Amino acid sequence: MTLQIPFDNTFAQLGSGFHAKQRPTPVKEPRLVAFNETLAGILGVTGGETQEMAAVFGGNQLPDGADPLAQIYAGHQFGNFNPQLGDGRALLLGEVMGNDGQRYDIQLKGAGPTAFSRNGDGRAWLGPVLREYVVSEVMHALGIPTTRALAAVETGETIQRERGRPGAVLTRVASSHLRVGTFQFFASRGQTENLKILTEYAIQRHHPDVSGPMGLLRAVRDAQSQLIAAWMSVGFIHGVMNTDNCAISGETIDYGPCAFMDLYHPNTVFSSIDQRGRYAYSNQPDIAVWNLAQLATALIQQLEDPQEAVEEATEIVHAMPALTEQNWLTRFRAKIGLPDEQAADQALITDLLSRMAANQVDFTNGFRALSGAQARAQFTDPAAFDSWEEKWVARRQGEPLPETSMNAANPAFIPRNHQMEAMISAAESGDYDLFNRLNTVLATPFADQPDHKDLQQPPSADQVVQATFCGT
């Protein structure tokens, strides 16, 4: 039986101004190293021998119904506007309607050069491909909106960067790849007609219950403020929150030098290219507002009287910090087991966080331990926990802890940086055991899994990962 992907493409119909048609560039020796059966089931992807899947998801064979193209976009990178980015190493094969009623993009990342590659080679390393595979699937398991991973294929080619590394192609699935930067592309060129077409398309696809550019802006704001609060609640740092890496759908997208924190500190940065800490953990809520302001600026260019819309757009953007804070409070109240809302909760939570930072507490293990009796042992000075605990107990008026709901808000397992590094170096020498084990354990991150306690351990001093790289 041959591999069937029930394509139903709409983006390709928007017109040539939105993309450049491009077929994947074949690779030397494609080898399927991961395939997500569960996701394939949702997408209606069926059949196919391993060899055929390697050929299709490595870019050597075009499946029936695919209409491959590189999407155009612009974007602010570290605050500087770049009027022309676009998929430089990714190709949209097309869309499918999932059996959950949701439309999905199927994209190959690392499938060769496109019209937008600039000086890049259009390829991806195995390391970042496996990293994105694991992290995006964990994100999904954590209940956080995200793109997903359908397949990973080793190419049998060496990618030459600072040194030679094995190449790979990731098959990525997203509810779309429309970005803030997609709107910026048309707005910055005064292509008002295409901006209108894109706005209508985004509304139909993601937020069919709203109308007009300001309706879309409001919906994106709401989705992004949920997303950022969710990231904060699991100690996730995206690392490159450029406007071209900010999806209109509210999904986490473009996993590069991202990381989950081990020790809690608000200023944590891992990305080697983020030298000033623009995208540090605690800056993420502000950056999301900044990105929304760029979307607002782009969207109003299509209105008869942009000046008139400025007031409404400003009001929408200015409401975002308070919304994110509400979502953040909801998440963190659940993490510390508060059943209802009180005005002083924010102070109680931030007090805990500052004590955690001062006492070298592991973010994940510190919160997870709250529902048991081991939290104080996580603090270098356990007395710092005790004095906070008194306030916590008083706030709960002696009610017992809702252990089940707390454990559903505080994952036991996250993809720890040092494990991810170990997984990548093993895979580079052909050993996929840790990759497979991480995928299995992290599929149920909230469950206690006594056989895998080693994956809960923070890194020892010599295992700490200081910096992450995007590998482009």
107 is an interface residue for Mg ion by CB under 5 A: no
Among candidates 1, 2, 98, which has minimal Cα distance to 44? 98
Q: Hey, what are 194's tokens?
A: 């295409």
Pairing label, strands 31-35, 148-160: antiparallel
36 is an interface residue for ligand AMP by CB under 6 A: no
472 is an interface residue for ligand AMP by CB under 6 A: yes
Q: Hey, what are 422's tokens?
A: 């170990």
Give the single-character DSSP code of 410. S
CA–CA gap between residue 59 and residue 114 (Å, rounded): 13
121 is an interface residue for ligand AMP by CB under 6 A: yes
Q: CB nearer to Mg ion: give 239 or 415.
A: 239
Per-residue binding string, ligand AMP, 427-466, x by CB under 6 A, is ----------------------------------------
CA–CA gap between residue 210 and residue 203 (Å, rounded): 7
CA–CA gap between residue 236 and residue 462 (Å, rounded): 22
Q: Binding segment for ligand AMP among 84-92, 191-199, 407-415, 451-459 (CB under 6 A)?
A: 84-92
Cβ atoms of residues 185 and 19 within 8 Å: no
Core vs surface per residue 267-299: b (16+ CB within 10 A) or e = ebbbbebbeeebbbbebbbebbbbbbbbbbbbb
Q: CB nearer to Mg ion: give 408 or 470.
A: 470
H or E stretch covering 32? strand 31-35
| Candidate residues 95, 254, 262, 362; the one interacting with ligand AMP per rule CB under 6 A | 254
Q: CA of 133: how far to CAs of 47, 240, 306, 435, in Å?
A: 22, 17, 42, 9
Compute the least distance from the CB of residue 126 to ligand AMP, in Å: 13
Q: CB nearer to Mg ion: give 98 or 128.
A: 128
Q: Let me know if 244 is a catalytic residue.
A: yes
Alpha carbon 206 to its chain centroid, in Å, reads 17
| Candidate residues 107, 175, 245, 249; the one interacting with Mg ion per rule CB under 5 A | 245
Compute the least distance from the CB of residue 257 to ligand AMP, in Å: 9
Compute the least distance from the CB of residue 240 to ligand AMP, in Å: 5
Q: Hey, what are 309's tokens?
A: 């819309």
DSSP string spanning 136-178?
HHHHHHTT--B-EEEEEEEEEEEEESSSEEEEEEEEEEES---
Q: Binding segment for ligand AMP among 83-91, 163-171, 344-352, 374-382 (CB under 6 A)?
A: 83-91
CA–CA gap between residue 57 and residue 62 (Å, rounded): 9
Alpha carbon 444 to its chain centroid, in Å, reads 18
86 is an interface residue for ligand AMP by CB under 6 A: yes
H or E stretch covering 288? helix 284-299
Q: Hey, what are 105's tokens?
A: 């993009």
Pairing label, strands 80-82, 124-125: unpaired
Q: CB nearer to Mg ion: give 90 or 230.
A: 90
402 is an interface residue for ligand AMP by CB under 6 A: no
Q: Binding segment for ligand AMP among 25-33, 87-95, 387-395, 420-428 (CB under 6 A)?
A: 87-95
Q: Name the catalytic one among 87, 105, 222, 244.
A: 244
Among ligand AMP, Mg ion, none, what does residue 123 contact (CB within 5–8 Å per kind)? ligand AMP
Q: Binding segment for ligand AMP among 44-52, 82-90, 130-138, 400-408 (CB under 6 A)?
A: 82-90
Q: CB nearer to ligand AMP: give 269 or 409.
A: 269
Q: Hey, what are 195's tokens?
A: 């901006």
Among Mg ion, ligand AMP, none, what does residue 148 contact (CB within 5–8 Å per kind)? none
Residue 464 dihedral angles phi and psi, to the nearest 5° = -60, 130
| Candidate residues 245, 271, 327, 419; the one interacting with ligand AMP per rule CB under 6 A | 245
Compute the least distance from the CB of residue 125 to ligand AMP, in Å: 9
Q: CB nearer to ligand AMP: give 90 or 441.
A: 90
The footprint of ligand AMP on this chain (CB under 6 A) covers a number of residues equal to 17
470 is an interface residue for ligand AMP by CB under 6 A: yes
Q: CB nearer to Mg ion: give 245 or 468.
A: 245
378 is an interface residue for Mg ion by CB under 5 A: no
Q: CB nearer to Mg ion: give 233 or 245.
A: 245
Tell which positions 248-267 bind Mg ion, by CB under 5 A: 254
Compute the least distance from the CB of residue 160 to ligand AMP, in Å: 11
H or E stretch covering 69? strand 69-71
Core vs surface per residue 101-112: b (16+ CB within 10 A) or e = eebbbbbbbbbb
Q: Give contact residues for ligand AMP (rule: CB under 6 A).
A: 85-89, 116-117, 120-123, 240, 245, 254, 256, 470, 472
User: What residues are annotated to the active site?
Assistant: 244
Q: Give contact residues for Mg ion (rule: CB under 5 A).
A: 245, 254
